[in-house]
Amino acid sequence: VGDVRLDLAYERDGPTLSWRMTPTTGRSPPMLVFGPIVPGRVSDVHLDDETVDAATHPGPNGGTRVPFQFPLDRPRTVTIRLVEPD
């Protein structure tokens, strides 16, 4: 398949975490295995404008691991919303 390069941008706005991934070089769209550990419990996960049914797992220090995969066939945005504390 060969090497693939991408640009990655991360942003946090309160309980909303966003990652924007843009492929820059490489052949055939790679399948990206994405598995961030986020600080807290997850409310919902979106890939672009679609809800993702991601299986979550306990992470360190009360965080949550959110693994899923998707083709990086165009610029993609992953958005994870956290459950806000009471």
What backbone phi and psi angles, to 5 degrees, belong to 62? 80, 10
pLDDT tens-place string over residues 16-54: 999 999 988 877 788 899 999 999 999 999 999 999 999
What's the rounded Cα separation, in Å, for the pair 10 and 37? 13
pTM for the model stands at 0.89
